[in-house]
Amino acid sequence: MNRTAKLGRIGQSVWLDNITRSLLNTGTLERYIRESSVTGLTSNPSIYDKAIGGSSDYDEQIRRLSAGGAGTEEIFFDLALEDLRRAADLFRPTYDRTDGVDGFVSLEVSPLLADDAATTAADAARLHALAARPNFFIKIPGTTAGLKAIEETIFGGVPVNVTLLFSSEQYLAAAEAYTRAIERRVEAGLNPYVPSVASVFVSRWDGQLAGDLPVDLHLKLGIATAQMTYNAYTELIHGDRWSRLMNEGARPQRLLWASTGTKDKTASDVLYIEALAAPLTVNTMPEETLLAFGEHGTVSQTLQARPDLPDPALMARFKAAGVELTDLARRLQEAGVESFATAWQSLLAHIEQTAGAAVAR
């Protein structure tokens, strides 16, 4: 059994946090599915900024669409939808085998809509209809406006990947939006199962505080906050409210670990993968992290929901060092939205440049 398959054996799905046209054209994604037990895939504006700006793989399609009168954002979504439909088709056997639990791909709405709930919900429905695949998540950030859009999008039957969550409080707010939407569907006599994942970003906690903490606290906050979130997650899905919904045929939103690549090159490159091996979760990994875990990762223990973890003494030390979790989580979410907006503008500029070069010729 390969190393990544062992994560599947404990109940954790392994997804790839990357998409490029070359991954599809060279058969690499298909090989990851076959040899590395990859069962899903996520994308975001930063990933597509690198994919479009870092290769010529999309140039011909950009020029053709531009010549046909398509606008810049329309061109981007055409590019992304072509890639992600192909990926969704590769994952369709997993989707069918798991009865719609696994085998998903994800496309993000424009991050420029982060404060516009109504337009986000409308765009999510539009993009999902264009994708025309059942195993297709639309990513919506868990901002204040995003939570409103998430509830309406789920109520409308569109699968959602809630992105840019950082703390247990932010996770619970997203889970509440999902739960309310499912309860509304039950009351309306609609199918109570609309797939969703809640993506909690882990390594950015440690990256934000790199160099600002005592050495013995280095690279410990991300895992500690993940432990708190896992505790909240398991308590929620095993509580009375979700027991009633599951009796109606609903399934809980799954918890997804995101940002699990190790940024600190002096630390283990599989630090967050090994620490966050947990049942009933997804781990979406950068390509280099997936390959590293396949080479030397181990599953020696699994994350457990325990009220005594994270260690209260450890969290007291973070507080004494000036770390205020609620405020830092808010700032991390705001920075995440800003980072994706910057990448969005960059990828659109790459498209405009390529389209403009074709006109100039």
Report d(CA 115, CA 40) in Å as an integer: 28
Report d(CA 62, CA 89) in Å as an integer: 23
Report d(CA 86, CA 88) in Å as an integer: 5
DSSP assignment of 193-258 equals: ---EEEEEE-HHHHHHTTTTS-GGGTT-HHHHHHHHHHHHHHHHHTSHHHHHHHHTT--PPEEEEE
Report d(CA 332, CA 326) in Å as an integer: 10
265 given a catalytic annotation: no
Cβ–Cβ under 8 Å, residues 105 and 136: yes
Catalytic residue among 139, 220, 263, 319: 139
Q: Which two tokens stand for residue 38?
A: 């990859």
Residue 123: which residues within 8 A CB-CB, separation 6 or more? Answer: 109, 110, 113
Report d(CA 323, CA 326) in Å as an integer: 9
Question: Computed over its alpha carbons, how large is the radius of gyration of the chain?
Answer: 20
Residue whose tokens read 């890639």? 83
Residue whose tokens read 């590019």? 79
Report d(CA 130, CA 231) in Å as an integer: 37
Cβ–Cβ under 8 Å, residues 115 and 102: no
Q: Which two tokens stand for residue 154?
A: 């789920």
User: Which positions are annotated as active-site residues?
Assistant: 139
